[in-house]
Amino acid sequence: MPLVVDLDGSLLRTDTLVESLFAVARTHPLTLLKVPAWLAQGRARLKQGLAERAAIDVHTLPFNPELVEHLRAQKRRERHLILATGADQKIARAVADELGLFDVVLASDGDVNLTASRKRERLVAEFGDRGFDYVGNSARDLPVWAAARRGLLVTRSPRTE
């Protein structure tokens, strides 16, 4: 049974969109003028535009150490691990490369913002209904948990209790 893991707020204790905004503000502040135009084209395009210009050092991102250790244990048991995230694919692949744990990376691509029901549809198409377990952290994960065999909640909030 594959284990699918969310990135922002789950594997990471931060949001890569916010990290990207701060990185662009530090290194290319005039690029922030493009944010409204990218957002008008959709969140996936915004994430892509920022990821292309952000200099995020994945070594410094705040990983969730308990979850990383759990994933390492699952990998030792030869479990198939998938990173599925609304973050842009450039950032998602960099995080996956840093950890070296994931067999597949599914992420936003500039056209599709892979969150909520879109993530659910993609995972059901790949693994079938109830064909995967899912690690998430927010109300946006509720549609995915509904299609998963099992769900693991990384952090609690009033909307997920």
Domain layout of the chain by residue ranges: 3-14+62-153, 16-58
Q: Which amino acid is at 62?
A: P
- The number of C-alpha atoms within 13 Å of 48 and in the hemisphere containing its C-beta is 16
**Which pTM value belongs to this model?**
0.94
> Going edge to edge, which strands form the sheet with 104-108?
104-108, 81-88, 3-5, 133-136, 150-153
Burial 15-28 (b: 16+ CB within 10 A, else e): ebbebbbebbeeee
pLDDT reported for residue 159: 45
pLDDT reported for residue 156: 54
pLDDT tens series, the chain, 161 aa: 999 999 999 999 999 999 999 999 999 999 999 999 999 999 999 999 999 999 899 999 999 999 999 999 999 999 999 999 999 999 999 999 999 999 999 999 999 999 999 999 999 999 999 999 999 999 999 999 999 999 999 975 444 44
pLDDT reported for residue 26: 95
Architecture in CATH for domain 3-14+62-153: 3-Layer(aba) Sandwich (3.40)
